[in-house]
Chain A
Amino acid sequence: MEKKQKKYIFPETLAEASELLKGENVLMISGGTTFKFRNLKNFSRIVDISRVAPDSIKINDKEIILGSMVRIGRLLENKSLRELNCGILASAASNIASTPIRNQITLGGNLTMIYRWTDLPVSILVLAAEIRTVNGNESMTYTAEDFFASNPSRKLARGEIVKELIIPVHDNDYLLLFKTFNKTKGDFAAINMAAGYKLGDVFSDLRIAISAISNLPVRLKALERDLEGSRKDEKVVVDAIAKHLPNFKVSDFRYNSEYLNQVAKVMLKRLLLVEDREAEL
């Protein structure tokens, strides 16, 4: 029997890419960071969408629209992204891998492959962003919460491709913060956390998200509800965290879960009381 020739294909449009991806044994790549680590014997066609997926960064007064082919390195270099929304996206992006790898990883790939330690999703959750996909001529829009509610690489339909990320531009009085915990700057995150809330004495429009310690990035909604309208007081925050922060079971060769859960509590307290801490400093 003749062995089927493996092909590497550059589609000419996203619609063509969608059609190709509906075939059997097809691997889609954008930046191609994981290409080397896939079992390529399982694939007869490699569809490279890097020439057809959008790589633009569009910014207006209300929103930031990032094409799925925007490389992570560009999130760091873009001056507006370093300033808008407290620069949270650039802050999270700076934790991802190293310069050459950040030049290769794409936004779409990073959101879809969703490794547990991925740094961007918690920021995207607290930014209340939306993810737009295309599948042929159809377009779908997911809230970040829906998108990350299950593994996106399994959730997306055959032929469905992430096209862009739409991020609201928040007012200057809306504080957005990202924190990570890992052994060294280049190490995979053990805990990622982000929060958003209005400046002032009480918590308002509070959003909190956590990942790496959890299997998927999640909003901490029970904690948000409990703290909404409460004074930004240490005892109030510590009590609410003790009551609502789930006991995560994730551990790895670096840290056991008990340690990570304790660190998460401290990180979260600091994230929510950052105004007090900055006043102290």
Chain B
Amino acid sequence: MKLNVRINGKDKSFRVGPEEVLLDVLRREGYTGVKRGCRKGDCGACAVLIDNELFNSCVLPAMSVAGKDVITIEGIGTPNALHVLQRTFLEEGAVQCGFCTPGMILAVKALLDRNEDPNETEIKEALDGNLCRCTGYVKIIKAVKKAARSMREVGE
């Protein structure tokens, strides 16, 4: 079947099987920043934004996103021009092995896009579907607060 979808602002068309999940399609098409973790919807490593809301692509039927806007980590900043979230995660040491980081960044982006000044409870709730087994979350939460401040200041 043909899947027409907008990924990171570009119209794309892929051949997909009706039984495929979005994660497998994205990785096959080169979006390898979308990580294959638990494949059960638990860990959030595969998280992407669909119409600006966070979803786990490992449990999402690929065809269900037909006609929608998908944002993967590849659509957030570039290696030479990091998004403020990516830069702040690095500055605050909120990245260790980095496997969970793409999903974390997208979860935080979804939060800050609708709430520019979240409190700590709101940050924890927004990240309740993203597991990190390295950093222990303290630095991640600190980075989110710092990024929120920066984004408010520059109106990003």
Contact = CB atoms under 8 A, between A and B. Distances in A.
Given A35-B61, A50-B64, A99 B128 contact: yes
Given A36-B21, A46-B18, A100 B44 contact: yes
B19 A32 contact: no
B128 A98 contact: yes
B1 interface: yes
Contact of B44 (A29, A33, A46, A98): A98
A7 B63 CA distance: 10
Contacts of B107: 99-100
Interface in A77-114: 97-101, 103-104
Nearest to B107: A99
A186 B131 CA distance: 11
Interface residues of A, number: 23
A101 B61 contact: no
Given A7-B18, A99-B129, A100-B47, A29 B61 contact: yes
A100 B64 contact: no
A158 B44 CA distance: 35
Contacts of A46: 18-19, 61, 63
B19 A101 contact: no
Given A6-B18, A185-B128, A101 B63 contact: no
A164 to B, nearest CB: 21
Interface stretch (B29-37, B48-56, B71-79, B140-148): B48-56
B54 A99 contact: yes
Interface of B: 1, 17-19, 21, 39-42, 44, 47, 53-56, 58-61, 63-64, 66, 107, 125-129
Given A6-B19, A7-B18, A99 B126 contact: yes
Given A8-B18, A104-B59, A97 B129 contact: yes
Contact of A35 (B21, B53, B54, B127): B21
B64 to A, nearest CB: 5
A255 interface: no
A73 B54 CA distance: 10
Given A98-B128, A99-B129, A32 B64 contact: yes
Contacts, number: 73
B5 to A, nearest CB: 14
List the 6 closest pairs (A to B, CB-CB), nearest first.
Answer: A98-B129, A8-B18, A8-B63, A40-B19, A100-B129, A32-B61
A160 to B, nearest CB: 22
5 contacts: A6-B17, A8-B63, A40-B19, A48-B63, A101-B56
Contacts of B66: 10
Contact of A103 (B21, B39, B54, B64): B54
Interface of A: 6-8, 10, 29, 32-33, 35-36, 40, 46, 48, 50, 73, 97-101, 103-104, 185-186
A9 B64 CA distance: 10
A36 B18 contact: no
A194 B44 CA distance: 31
Given A104-B56, A104-B59, A29 B64 contact: yes
Given A99-B128, A100-B41, A8 B53 contact: no
B128 A36 contact: no
B82 to A, nearest CB: 23
A161 B61 CA distance: 20
Contacts of A35: 21, 59-61
Contacts of B39: 36
Contacts of B18: 6-8, 46
Contacts of A6: 17-19
